[in-house]
Structure formats: C-alpha cells, structure tokens
C-alpha cells in the first residue's frame, strides 16, 4: 500500500509540474487571435493606387513636363504598380521636402534618390538599383581645370548646385573655399554653366552623362571615376519589412529579366 501510495504521489506531482509549465509557456506566447500589423502592401492593393513622391527635375530618373512625368523611375514605378494590379499616383515634391512629403503622403519616394544615413533614419531603402557617385561637369574647354576636388575648391571657382539634396551637401562639405551658388531650378542649372554664369557643378555621374548629350559644349569629367561611391534606391516606409521585401523581390526580377536595363537604355541613350 505504501509502495502504491508513493507512486500515486509521484504521478500527481509530475502532472502538477507539467500543468504549471504549460500554463507559463502559454501565457508567454501572444494570443492566436492577435493579427500582425497591416503592411502598406495591403493598403496599396485595397486603395487601388501606388502613391509615388518624386521631384520631376532630375533626368534621366524623373522629369515633369507637358503635364506628365517621365523617366527611368517613372517607368519602373508603372511596372511595380502593374505587378500589384494598381495604378500610380505621382506626387510632385522637391529635394528639400522629399522626406517629409514621402512620410506624409506617399508609399514610395523615387527619382534618383541617393541612399544617405540621414534619410535612413526616417525611412527604409530598397536594395540599390544603380551605382553612382559625385563627379564634375563643366564647359568642355575647362574640363582639365576641374579634375580634382583640390582644383575645384578654389576661391576663384564658381560652383553651382541645386538646393536640398546630396549635391548641396557635398559642395558645402568639400568645396568650402569655392564661390558657391545655390540655384533653385535643377532643370536649367546646366545652362548656367554653358552660358558662363558658373564654372562647374558636382553631381551624380549618371546625370552628367545625360546632360552632356542634352547640352553640347558641356563635358562630364571622369564619370567612370567619381569622387565618392554612391547608390540609387527607393524609399519605402520605415519598419514595413513586408512591403520592402516585396519591392526588393520585384526589383530583383526586373533586373534579372532585363526589364530594368531596357528602361535604362531607353532614357540614357
């Protein structure tokens, strides 16, 4: 009797221990009824539109003229929207207001946006789709005078930049001794150099390659060897990994299928 009594007590204690362990582990887990936070991906599909903030002043990525947007990123945004079964609503912004407008009104920010730590603090970036970097563009007759930062950073050099973006940041950091002019119109800024009202602009190599074609007499200075490494990517909402990963996968497929290269060639050649 004593032998069986001990066995019963042992089994009882074991069952109690397992019950307590199960109860603790159950309380530690989130309730099955709790649903994960909704991704922007779901909102876009439900809304039927993809809202894309873009400046519309940066060829070949984004340009606004004749009442419509066009360029590399514009075509790519149309492709992304098609993959989601929605339409694109382009929201015009400016470089100084880009991040604030994106957070307030858009699902993505596009148009040759450079990846920076300052922007990363407030948004996520997709994987980069274009490697780039800062390089000079000047009148062809003067190109040899502006090969290095040291040559440009002289009191006699008239440097011109557009406001609010990485070009202005670069100029203020590395060209502090030069005479700096912040010019508000990124579309006509290159004509200022061509007309002799400025000497040089330091901007992304991809832009200089296009602008030397659009403005005969201007030459891109060593675009294959920029002053610094840079990348282009799209901004997506901070914390939304689901949407970020969807755009990354779509971008990967666009690059591997040749779609991105086809769009790039359309606007750069």
Do 123 and 234 belong together in one domain? yes
pTM flag (> 0.85):
no
Do 49 and 93 belong together in one domain? yes
Do 81 and 125 belong together in one domain? yes
Do 191 and 116 belong together in one domain? no
* CB neighbour class for 8 (10 Å; exposed up to 12, middle 13-18, buried from 19): exposed
Residue 11 tokens, joined:
């089994």
Do 83 and 99 belong together in one domain? yes
- How many CB atoms within 10 Å of residue 2? 6
Give the chain's domain count.
2
70: domain range? 40-131+230-268
Query: How far from the centroid of its chain's Cα atoms is residue 111's Cα?
Result: 8
In a domain, 199, yes or no: yes
Do 197 and 90 belong together in one domain? no
Do 96 and 169 belong together in one domain? no
Residue in 200, 191, 67, 94 with CA at minimum distance from that of residue 141: 200
Do 186 and 173 belong together in one domain? yes
Q: Write the CATH number for 90.
A: 3.40.190.10
Placement of tokens 């994987």 in the chain: 127
* Distance (Å, whole) CA 33 – CA 11: 34
Q: Give me the helices (H) in 30-92, please.
A: 40-47, 72-84
Residue in 138, 146, 130, 81 with CA at minimum distance from that of residue 107: 81
Residue 46 tokens, joined:
């439900």
The CA-atom distances, in angstroms, between 133 and each of 43, 142, 181, 223 are 35, 21, 21, 8
According to the model, what pLDDT value does residue 30 have? 45
Residue 18 tokens, joined:
């397992």
pLDDT, tens digit only, all 269 positions of the chain: 454 444 435 444 444 444 444 444 444 444 433 345 789 999 999 999 999 999 999 999 999 999 999 999 999 999 999 999 999 999 999 999 999 999 999 999 999 999 999 999 999 999 999 999 999 999 999 999 999 999 999 999 999 999 998 999 999 999 999 999 999 999 899 999 999 999 999 999 999 999 999 999 999 999 999 999 999 999 999 999 999 999 999 999 999 999 999 999 999 87
Backbone angles phi, psi at 23, to 5 degrees: -65, -40
* Distance (Å, whole) CA 167 – CA 189: 12
Do 124 and 244 belong together in one domain? yes
* Distance (Å, whole) CA 189 – CA 203: 11
According to the model, what pLDDT value does residue 38 have? 87
């Amino acid at each position: 009797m004593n032998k069986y009594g001990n066995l019963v007590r042992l089994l009882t204690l074991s069952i109690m221990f397992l019950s307590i362990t199960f109860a603790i582990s159950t309380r530690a887990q989130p309730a099955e009824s709790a649903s994960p936070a909704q991704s922007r991906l779901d909102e876009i599909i439900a809304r039927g539109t993809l809202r894309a903030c873009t400046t519309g002043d940066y060829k070949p990525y984004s340009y606004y003229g004749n009442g419509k947007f066009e360029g590399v990123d514009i075509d790519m945004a149309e492709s992304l929207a098609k993959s989601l079964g929605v339409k694109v609503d382009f929201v015009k912004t400016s470089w100084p207001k880009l991040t604030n407008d994106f957070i307030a009104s858009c699902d993505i920010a596009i148009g040759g946006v450079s990846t920076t730590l300052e922007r990363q603090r407030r948004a996520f970036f997709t994987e980069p789709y274009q490697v780039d970097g800062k390089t000079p563009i000047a009148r062809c007759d003067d190109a040899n005078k502006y090969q290095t930062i040291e040559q440009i950073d002289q009191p006699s050099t008239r440097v011109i930049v557009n406001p609010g973006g990485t070009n202005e940041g670069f100029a203020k950091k590395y060209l502090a001794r030069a005479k700096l002019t912040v010019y508000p119109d990124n579309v006509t800024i290159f004509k200022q150099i061509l007309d002799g009202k400025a000497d040089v602009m330091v901007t992304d190599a991809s832009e200089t390659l296009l602008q030397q074609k659009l403005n005969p007499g201007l030459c891109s200075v060593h675009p294959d060897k920029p002053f610094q490494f840079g990348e282009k990517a799209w901004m997506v909402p901070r914390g939304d990994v689901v949407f970020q990963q969807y755009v990354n996968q779509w971008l990967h497929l666009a690059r591997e299928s040749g779609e991105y290269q086809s769009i790039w060639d359309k606007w750069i050649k």
